Structure 1
Amino acid sequence: MNILYISISGNTRAFVKNLAIYAEEQHQLDATNPLITSKEISDNSPFEIENDPFFTFVPTYLEGGNGVDNGDTEILTEAMRDYLEYEDNYKNCLGVVGSGNKNFNYQYCLTAKQYSETFKFPFIADYELRGTKVDCQRVYQALKNLN
């Protein structure tokens, strides 16, 4: 399974790393369980055409406001949006996984929900901050079911 992700504070990077470790453990138990390859997208990433199916992981960073009637403008993660738009890469995306801080209520995972709506791929799962082992298990199963 291929994952494209953007990580601003390191939380998404840490979760994807833990998810890949969990996938390796599952693969060792049963070779039919898929492994995970990942690529971090940043402001400095060269744009490439993605020919293989992938999943997108995005944290939530928004500009001020409450996320309901104002303040739902994406900030800091625009490089991922641009990468998905490049040569219609989004067409190979099987879905998006979002993260954030549940203290932000409606804004929790709002970036992933916006990607889902904009690009017409499913919002698959969420996790808070760096996630937990249980989150890794749950997200891996959800990805595996769609792969």
Structure 2
Amino acid sequence: MVTMTAGMPTHTSVDTRRCADRRADEPLLDEPLLDEPLLIVYFSSVSENTSRFVDKLGMRSMRIPLTGRDQPLSIDEPYVLICPTYGGGKHQSGSVGGGFVPKQVIRFLNDPHNRSLIRGVIAGGNSNFGEEFCLAGDIIAAKCKVPYLYRFELMGTAHDVERVRDGLAEFSRTVVSRTVDDHAVTV
């Protein structure tokens, strides 16, 4: 769910409207309820903004390696991806085009097994990017056919941390199994 303020996307949260008509003792979906929130898989650049945000969440997490020389990350359980947005313009040093999704994240999602386990995406970014604020989240959600759960500025605020923590707890109770197409993620 994305809300707009003066043409700019603002923070979003998990859309729980579909749960409003259920009885309190009824599970949200036909899936078994999870005892703990989904694993967080994240990428953080050398700025460490995304890493700081994930650390403040205090939840189980695994980091996508920063360099291609590191051992690739392989995931064996459903997860929510937290990813920064690169770019902020049509040109980024060393690349032509947007380059909004970090190459490390593309490499991670191009593994069909990893891609099959993604259940949602959260993006970080800089509002100075204007329309491109947190665009990596839009791209990943569309390519992987998962919900775009939240967006936050830089390393997030205390309010962002609280909303994401609460939202992920709720979202983890509503996770549905799904199959992702085996198409590679291209950006």
TM-score by length of 2: 0.63
Any stretches of 5+ residues in structure 1 without a counterpart? 21-35
Residues 47 and 86 in structure 1, CA contact (< 8 A), matched pair in contact too? no
Contact 1:94–1:122 (CA under 8 A) maintained in structure 2: yes
| CA-CA distance at 1:88 after TM superposition | 3.0
Q: 1:45 to 1:113 in 2, by over 3 A?
A: farther
Going from structure 1 to structure 2, the CA distance change for 1:63 and 1:127 (only over 3 Å counts) comes to: closer
User: Which residue among 34, 39, 55 is the counterpart of 1:2?
Assistant: 39
CA distance in 2, matches of 1:37, 1:117: 25
Runs of 4+ in 1 over 4 A off after TM superposition: none
TM-score when normalising by structure 1: 0.79
The match for 1:127 is 152
Q: Secondary structure at the match of 1:96?
A: strand
Deviates more, 1:39-48 or 1:118-127: 39-48
8 Å Cα contact 2:81-2:118 kept in structure 1 = yes
Q: Secondary structure at the match of 1:3?
A: strand
What is the aligned partner in structure 2 of residue 39 from structure 1? 62
What is the CA-CA distance between 1:71 and the residue it aligns to?
4.1
Aligned pairs for 1:1-147 (under 5 A) are 1-8=38-45, 9-20=47-58, 36-41=59-64, 42-43=66-67, 44-62=69-87, 64-65=89-90, 71-74=97-100, 77-147=102-172
Q: Aligned-residue CA RMSD in angstroms?
A: 1.9
Number of equivalenced pairs: 128
- Structure 2 gaps of 5+ residues are 1-37, 173-187
How far apart are the structure 2 equivalents of 1:129 and 1:89?
A: 26
